[in-house]
Structure 1
Amino acid sequence: MRRSHLAGRWLCLALSTSGSALAQQAPPPPQETPAPPSPDAPGGEPFRVPTVQVVETAEAPAPPDSASRRDPSGALTVIHVDGFGGAARDTAAMLSTAPGVTLQDVGGYGQSKSLVVRGASSNATLVLLDGVPLNGPGGIADLSRVPAAMAERFEVLRGGAGARYGSGGLGGVVNIITRRPGAEARVAGELSYGSWDTALGWLSASGPLAGGEALVLVHGGTSSGRFPYLFDPSPTLPGDALVEQRRTNNDARGAGGLLRLRRELGGGFSADLMGELSFDERGLAGTAQNPSADARQSGGRGSASLRVMGTLPGGVRTNARAYYRRDRIALAGGLWSQSEPQVQQLGGVELEGRVLLGGWHALSALVSVGGESVTAADTNEASGGDPAWPRASVMAMDEVLLWDGQLTLAPSLRVERAGPYTLLSPKVGVTVELPADFELRANAGRAHRAPSFLELYVRQGTLLPNPDLRPESALYADAAVVHRSEESFASVGGFASLYEDLISYEAYPPGAARPYNFANARVVGLEAEGEWRPHPLLSGAFSYTLTVSSDLQRDERFYLRELPYRPRHKLAARVMGGPRWLTGRMEVVAQSAHALTRDGSMSLPGRAFVHAGLSSTFGSRPELTVSCEVKNLFDARAEDFVGYPLPGRAVYLSVAGAFSGTETP
């Protein structure tokens, strides 16, 4: 067996237009895709046309907690933020360009945005910030509270992830990797202004500090949210004229900061400290048919993590991490008003190790302990007051190389205790190297999601808790064929998931709703993605997803009907071209019609949005980039979720600058 296969033979792609490096690196252990220089990395640019690279090396393996290392055969997309360029970049919109990912959008800057991955519910997608879980008390991570300014890249792992990430990853995991410190002094920033008085900005400084590297970034944004939309005053009368109205109580504002510190500790060990703080406030406008004039939400989040990495005697590569997050949400006005804010706290420590044995397999193990709690004004008797519970888990994985590294098997198992629930999540992954730069990936396993505190214990407005809920679970399998070259990347694959004991809110008289384990569901589909760079000044990327869902509840009203909020077809395509001084880009994002109710009586029309932009970059010390972006170029009027209007055409202008102490190459 050749040790080089396991020590780091890999293929990677730094993307053309959407900035995604799509995934699976050749078997283990794959290295991280070399990221395009970020605005805070020495020699980086606020905007650049990315390049396609193929790299083979056995040096500097990926961190143990990277998605490519934790799940070497999984369906992984890496999206680099700087690959999108332009003004008013949005975290949720960028993530929705990945295959298998659908966005649920309440509409407008700062309004709630969540993801559905491979047909799983939005609270069954685990979202992490540098490994710190962001899923709030209700189990749903609101991506509107994560500005793109903080992120360097996103790791989108599709498919059940219970074996490697624990409870919550039925559909997949999104890890938001924040900007890295740089070894050279650098100051960078960006200001954007556009439609509906939307203003965004960030400023960062990075460089050496006390023998290490540091990054400080501050960000903020505001919008009135008063965009026009088409309103149907008589929805029961087909064919009546639509009336244009403007959204009210749809304003939003937020601000925050990020601190990153990195330092070499000696002996082959390094430490990385991350601290993040944010505050936000927004109006809750309600749906078009049921607007809310006074409902408001305010919140704040603080999170921190400390990671120490190194190699112990015997070649054991270790990763130790401690993390903490505090999330506060206050609601006022409307039906959701509460007398006290709701505060969730969670924290934990984990130790992960990996060792190469005999040159033909690598063992990984992880032990983690922690806990979480929620303070709430109105809890049921089963909670015993403010609900809190401990968490603990143990994970083991082996990566076995066969036939001179042409076949890699990666079985793994996680045993987890989440409060009163014991969860067992097995998985096996397979990677096969084929002739002519082709590769086959396949995975099968089981994942779980324990009910959230809100679902079990907390009354919030008209939503009632149910302490008798059981965990949701998923049986899943997927396979894909991948091809890579120096100029292109392509992947085509299929997936299937069986979701069991799904939790859904049902009407609970008089006028309330309560969650129940009501049914099973089946989701099968196809994912295709590709990237192509035929010329240094031209690049393109696309992704397509076919999702076919079936409700397996034994009720003739619902049996075998498609699940709500799961469009059957979703397409994202992007092209970018031109020299540095004038780069143009165009993007198309489309999805088909889909059901809004389980009986199929109501549906949401399909939609297609076209976005276009131009950027010009000048100089190097300092460097200046001016951009113009037109979102929804053809002013398509659409709604999302259960009747929330989406913005029409919007224009944004931005100016970005960067200055470093060294000459940009």
Structure 2
Amino acid sequence: MRWSHLAGQWLCLALSTSGFAFAQQAAEPPTQDTASSEPSEGEPLLVPTVEVEEAPVAAEPPDSATRRDPSGALTLIRVDEFGGAARDTAAMLSTAPGVTLQDLGGYGQSKSVVVRGASSNGTLVLLDGIPLNGAGGIADLSRVPAALAERFEVLRGGAGARYGSGGLGGAINIITRRPGANARVAGELSYGSWDSGLGWLSASGPLAGGEALLLLHGGTSSGRFPYLFDPSPTLPGDALLERRRTNNDARGAGGLLRLRRELGKGISADLLGELSFDERGLAGTAQNPSEDARQSGGRGSANLRLSGTLPGGVQTNARAYFRRERVALSGGGPWSEADPQVQQVGGVEVEGQVLLGGWHSVSALLGVGGESVTAAETTEDSEGEPTWLRASVMAMDEVLLWDGQLTVAPSLRVEQAGPYTLLSPKVGVTALLPLGFELRANAGRSHRAPSFLELYVRQGTLLPNPDLRPERALYADAAVVHRSEVSFASVGGFASLYEDLISYEAYPPGAARPYNFANARVMGLEAEGEWRPHRLLSGAFSYTLTLSSDLQRDGRFYLRELPYRPRHKLAARVLGGPRWLTGRVEWVAQSAHFLTRDGAMSLPGRAFVHAGVSSTFGSGTELTVSCEVKNLFNARAEDFVGYPLPGRAVYVSVAGAFEREAR
């Protein structure tokens, strides 16, 4: 068995480093309401496409990211650009500039992202517009399999004016797969190291005068990867021991149903239903492992959207959504005796946009909804099970000057989140310059209302604090963009001032309680680009420089860098070759960063190299065989709180599709 595992590694390595040709120019990603086209023979895989939309584009729906924030720092990432096995939602998102991954290691374990230095609970994550941030304010991306997604819209910078509370550092909208007009059956099955298996199967096509998509997905992993353990970290130079991760297994399954139909008079209806179930071990850190702590959960969501163009040229988007999420803990630890926690979120939004006089475009949104959570222990301030009413009004005006060479887009959102009234203004500017250059700039303010858990719910030794104030962010950014027929590049800077940040502090004799403890400053640079010098060669890169400062007036913390914010982060990807032999290499690196606010503990920098090769045959009936080597050089690394990350892993996948054109 060991020989076959090593043979598989060498086979994949040989395939990924030989016969290397290069991939063709990337195409523009389709908008949410455009049917995707199939690749023709000889067409290679594509690289991530970034900030390539022009404003205003009347054909786009009002809720698309480029319409909601036309001057924003936006990266569009298509899932099919990451061909091969073991595709991971969080890992794909981390290739965008300004985005840092916090990963607890392996399939199914907790994964979240930090955008522009904001905490994980300061990044708003949505599934087709449905907010996924849990009761604690953090969206666990491990619970959103990549099989569901068609593409990701990553908006960096304060998103309060356009998306509401929670978007201090940015917003991520996960766009699910869409049905098509042709009958199509597709699927993929992957298997690799540590008994990790992933699979999905979909069927789409015409149904009852409309279009339908049904997708089923599942995955499992033992998570028993080896890692090096230091039994005496206070004694430098002592021998490291190799151990295997235990209680690190995970499994999950779910499905997606999407129906689309034209209702006439330019109005279309889109219905989405999603269910998922997951269960995993909570292994703990290397120094403090947990042998029996477990977590199980489930999510169900529904989204009905009506969109189209009304008389007078008013583009309208109306939707009603609902999400119910359940999380239960068992086994060891202070939270094991708690009852399952259930969060419910629902609401209705109506958004419209109209072009007036040919020189400015007015948008408006009205939304109302509610949120509730059940928990084992709540305080008297919650009056039983906490329930909030949410309501918001947003307006934006895009003013086009000098025949559209300059666009100024002021916007304002007023939001009521439970007892908190939040005001989020923003202004964005886009200027078209000679020689294919473009200037984009934004400034504004965003908020994050405290979560139910921070306000009302006691979780073991974590106590609530009903006196918390909302977190706030003042932000500004500017970027110069250049595009040509074969390349795209963007370089810019950003600065954010985070105020009234919420953090858990020691609360004697043995508990912790959240407080609005301080302000923080984050600034930096972002660069990203694509290069397509030949139809068989394409590449993409992103780089982020993040400079953070703790502004709490305490000598232990003042002006120190914030924990979990690496100063440098780089991602680069090269693709090459025709469809019958496409190779890819990816490099993801980040610098060392602190693990504590006083700088006493730090995490070394790391760099991962991934390589793979794919062969695709056929057109109407298509078969793809892929081999992927993750962490090619077996770099040893830890993340978050000293949690060991997996070493080298090998995955083999087989994907197929059969499509019949509609008559």
| Superposition TM-score tier, normalisation by shorter sequence | over 0.9
How many residues are aligned here?
638
Q: Deviations over 1:540-591 (max 9, x none)?
A: 0000000000000000110000000000000000001011111100000000
Change (3 A) 1:106 1:55: closer
Report the counterpart of residue 19 of structure 2 in structure 1. none
1:209 to 201, 204, 207: 207
Residues of 1 paired with 2:620 and 2:395: CA distance? 49
The whole-number CA distance in structure 1 between the counterparts of 2:300 and 2:63 is 21
| Structure 1 residue aligned with 2:83 | 85
**Alpha-carbon shift at residue 241 of structure 1 (Å):** 1.5
Q: Which residue of 2 aligns with 1:431?
A: 430
SS at structure 1 position matched to 2:378: coil
The answer on whether the counterparts of 1:19 and 1:79 sit within 8 Å (CA) in structure 2 is no
Matched residue type, 1:407 = L
CA–CA distance in structure 1, aligned partners of residues 43 and 201 of structure 2:
15
* Equivalent in the alignment of 1:632: 631
Kindly provide the amino acid, as one letter, of the partner of residue 630 in structure 1: V
- 8 A contact 1:79–1:155 mirrored in 2: yes
Paired residue secondary structure (2:80): helix
User: For 1:468-547, what aligned pairs fall within 5 Å after superposition?
Assistant: 468-547=467-546
CA pair 560-45 structure 1, distance change in 2 beyond 3 A = farther
Alignment map for 1:180-579 (pairs within 5 Å): 180-335=178-333, 336-579=335-578
Q: Check conservation: 2:25, 2:46, Cα contact below 8 A.
A: no
Match of 1:176 in 2: 174
Report the counterpart of residue 13 of structure 2 in structure 1. none
Taking structure 2 as the reference length, what is the TM-score of the superposition? 0.93
Given that residues 42 and 578 in structure 2 are in contact (C-alpha distance below 8 angstroms), is that contact kept between their aligned partners in structure 1? no
- How far the C-alpha of 1:334 sits from its partner, in A, is 1.9
1:96 aligns with 2:98: no
Is the CA contact 1:18–1:79 (under 8 Å) kept in the aligned structure 2? no
Supply the RMSD in Å over aligned alpha carbons: 2.1
Contact 2:56/2:70 (8 A) holds in 1:
no
Contact 1:19 1:81 in 2 (8 A): no
Rounded Cα–Cα distance in structure 1 between residues aligned with 2:438 and 2:585? 31
The answer to whether the 8 A contact 1:506-1:513 is kept is: yes
Among residues 46, 50, 57, which one is paired with 2:46 in the alignment? 50
The structure-2 alpha-carbon separation of the partners of 1:216 and 1:43, relative to structure 1 and needing over 3 Å to count, comes to farther
Distance change >3 Å, CA 373–CA 55, structure 1 → 2: closer
Query: Counterpart of 1:597?
Result: 596
The residue identity in structure 2 corresponding to 1:315 is: G
CA positional deviation for 1:44? 8.2
CA distance in 2, matches of 1:642, 1:132: 30
**Alpha-carbon separation, structure 2, partners of 1:414 and 1:161:** 10
Separation (CA, whole Å) in 2 of partners of 1:34 and 1:127: 21
Comparing 376-385 and 131-140, the one that deviates more: 376-385
Distance in 2 (CA, whole Å) between partners of 1:470 and 1:119 is: 20
Letter in 2 for 1:347: G
Give 1:6's aligned residue: none
State the AA in 1 paired with 2:467.
D
SS at match of 2:435: coil
| 8 Å contact kept, 2:23–2:577 | no
Aligned partner of residue 436 in structure 1, secondary structure:
helix
Task: Give distance in 1, aligned partners of 2:404 and 2:167.
Answer: 29
CA spacing shift, 1:115–1:548, aligned 2, 3 Å: same
Look up the equivalent residue of 1:172 and give its one-letter code.
G
The letter of the residue matching 2:485 is E
Task: Tell me by how many angstroms 1:32 deviates.
Answer: 3.5
**For the structure 1 residues 215 and 166, does the alpha-carbon distance in structure 2 shift closer, same or farther, using more than 3 Å as the test?**
same
Give the direction of change, closer, same or farther, for the CA distance of 1:18–1:323 in structure 2 (3 Å limit).
Answer: farther
Alpha-carbon spacing, 1:237–1:59, altered in 2? closer, same or farther (3 Å): closer
Q: 1:650 is matched with which residue? A: 649
For residues 276 and 466 of structure 1, what CA distance do their matches in structure 2 show?
Answer: 34
Q: Distance in 2 between matches of 1:164 and 1:227?
A: 42
What do the CA deviations read for 1:127-157 (whole angstroms, capped 9, x no partner)? 0000000000110000000000110000000
Q: How far apart in 2 are the matches of 1:52 and 1:642?
A: 31
The unaligned stretches of length 5 or more in structure 1 are 1-14, 23-30
More displaced stretch, 336-345 vs 214-223: 336-345
Deviation string 1:206-249 (CA, Å, 9 cap, x unpaired) is 00000000000000000000000111111122222111110000
Give, in angstroms, the shift of residue 313 of structure 1.
1.5
Q: 1:104 to 1:35 in 2, by over 3 A?
A: farther
Distance 1:214 1:33, change over 3 A: closer
Cα distance between partner residues in 1 of 2:95 and 2:654: 25
Residue 25 (structure 1) aligns with: none
Q: Which has the higher contact order (CA 8 A, sep 6+)?
A: 2
Give yes or no for contact 1:546–1:569 (8 Å, CA) kept in 2.
Answer: yes
What letter corresponds to residue 67 of structure 2 in structure 1? R
Distance 2:127 2:307 in 1: 18
Q: Is the 8 A contact 1:19 1:83 kept in 2?
A: no
Distance 1:451 1:18, change over 3 A: farther
Tell me how far 1:59 sits from its aligned partner.
7.6
SS of residue in 1 equivalent to 2:454: helix
Structure 1 residue 19, shift from structure 2 partner: 7.5
Distance 1:32 1:309 in 2: 14
Pick from 121, 124, 127 the counterpart of residue 126 of structure 1.
Answer: 124
Q: 1: distance between equivalents of 2:42 and 2:565?
A: 35
| Partner Cα separation in structure 2 for residue 545 and residue 42 of structure 1 | 34
CA distance in 1, matches of 2:561, 2:186: 47
Query: Residue 467 of structure 2 aligns to a residue in which SS?
Result: coil
SS for the counterpart of 1:531 is strand
Q: Could you tell me how far 1:47 is from its partner in structure 2?
A: 9.2
Query: Given the superposition, is the C-alpha separation of residues 128 and 18 from structure 1 closer, same or farther in structure 2, using an over 3 Å criterion?
Result: farther
Letter in 2 for 1:258: L
| Cα separation, 2, equivalents of 1:575 and 1:598 | 37
SS at match of 1:69: helix
Q: 2:68 is matched with which residue: 67, 70, 77? A: 70
Which runs of structure 2 are paired with 1:581-592 in the superposition (5 Å)?
A: 581-592=580-591
The offset of 1:620, in angstroms, is 2.2
Deviation of 1:486 after TM superposition, in Å, equals 1.2
TM superposition shift of 1:191: 0.2
Q: What percent identity do the matched residue pairs reach?
A: 83
* Structure-2 change in CA distance of 1:46 and 1:629 (3 Å): farther
TM-score of the two chains, using structure 1 as the length reference: 0.93
Structure 1: distance between partners of 2:110 and 2:27: 24
Deviation at 1:464, TM superposition (A): 1.1
Distance in 1 between residues matched to 2:78 and 2:419, nearest whole Å: 39
Cross-structure match for 1:141: 139
Distance in 1 (CA, whole Å) between partners of 2:41 and 2:476 is: 40
Using the alignment, how far apart are the partners of 1:654 and 1:20 within structure 2? Answer: 25
Cα distance change on mapping 1:194 and 1:648 into 2, 3 Å: same
SS at match of 1:455: helix
